[in-house]
Structure 1
Amino acid sequence: MLRTPSGGAGSGAAAADSGPMSIGTVLNVLREEFPEVTISKIRFLESEGLIEPERSPSGYRKFSAGDVERLAQVLRMQRDHYLPLRVIREHLDAVERGEAAPLPALSRQRSGEPVPELSEERTAARIGRAELLAAAEIGEQDLQEWESYGLLAPLEDGLYDAEAVTVASLVAQLGRFGIEPRHLRVMKAAADREAGLVEQVVAPLKRHRNPQTRILAETRSRELAGLTVKLHAALVQTALGVRLP
């Protein structure tokens, strides 16, 4: 079972009894507790040495239940204690060695550790077409159809934002209920409008000469994106008269 650093039970416990998981499956497990986590975030944490998932013969990541639990611990310590990744890594490594390692009382604002440039995470946020197909467990024909409706699109370099796996997985799940890609164009249009609103708010920060201010713009974008997602979900639930579990 996933547990917090203090020993409390966390979400996603079902992952503990599963076999090797794809990065898309890991994302779905973690989002029960961390709705704003993305595949790019998972890949970035791997690049920083926080996890070391196994690789299949074809090179795809295979996450164990232990990897998912460690990811959850990292995300909690970032969220609840504002610890830098270096401190989190050292703490978890010490715990795994069986050493007495109390959780450091350190905040990001006081740590003195430089904030990583945005490009570090974005570099790890690109996946190829074959990796997208494998992670989302879809076929080439499905992807072509979804692209024709604008639900997915490659970037200028031909790669995809890693969040495309989430989109593809959700489109596939909705399809099992008879909701076709053409029905989802209204959702895509609404998402584009919401993104435009967020961009208007953070645009002055993005244009600032100070690199720290530009990093703040990215943080603010994520915060606003999380709020808009929650609001959208609440509005849909209200309209349908249901409550999600």
Structure 2
Amino acid sequence: MADAGYLTIGKVVSKLQGQYPDLSVSKVRYLEDEGLLTPSRTPGGYRLYSARDIQRLETILYLQKSRFLPLSVIKDELDGKKGTTDSMPEDGCEAAPDPVDPTLSVSPEAERELHPIDRIPEVAGVPISLVRKLADCSIIKLVKSPAGRDLVRGSDLRLIRACNELTRFGIEPKNLRQYLAAANREIPMFEQALASLSRHQGETPDERRLRREVALDRMLTLTGVVRCSIMRRELIDD
């Protein structure tokens, strides 16, 4: 079967890691355990992935990273149990803007790096002064280089772009401190929920971490729906 274009799990990971650096053998196995992938097996039990399997895996990874969809929704979409991923009200307020606005997106490479603050206008299209204000309000945390330069985490770039756009509506960094306080109040709730997840027998540390990440993503999606629905009801619907 391998001569007919099938790849082993290791070769699949190597093939896709350039686009999805966090991909690992453990993650692919986890997706199989969750019923999203069904590769063929050799008589000895080794997994073999066809071109269709690899395309399905790429779709799963794309929807996770670009659309922030939970695995349960992705599975239903791929299995044809629901409509398109662009029209699912349960994962966001019906009339709310798309949370994956392309103007806020960041390349995987930029997201993994530390960026000198003086390059932020070039990297993110945001003035340095705004980044300084966000740091002063503790919305982001700057990192000091060994030479004493202020560095910005790539993982904060999407947040910085969102805050920059909010200034167009008159919402300044100082107004966003309430979200930091709200997040600090919610963290214990999520910590308790994650701690309650039972450990699966034979589960590796990487598999457990991945399962916790998936659970957290789903909880953040659901609590976002709750917050969005309440805000819309109070500000628009009534």
Which interval holds the TM-score relative to the shorter structure?
0.3 to 0.5
Larger CA Rg, structure 1 vs 2: 2
Structure number with greater CO (CA < 8 Å, separation at least 6) is: 2
TM-score, normalization by structure 2: 0.47
TM-score, normalization by structure 1: 0.45
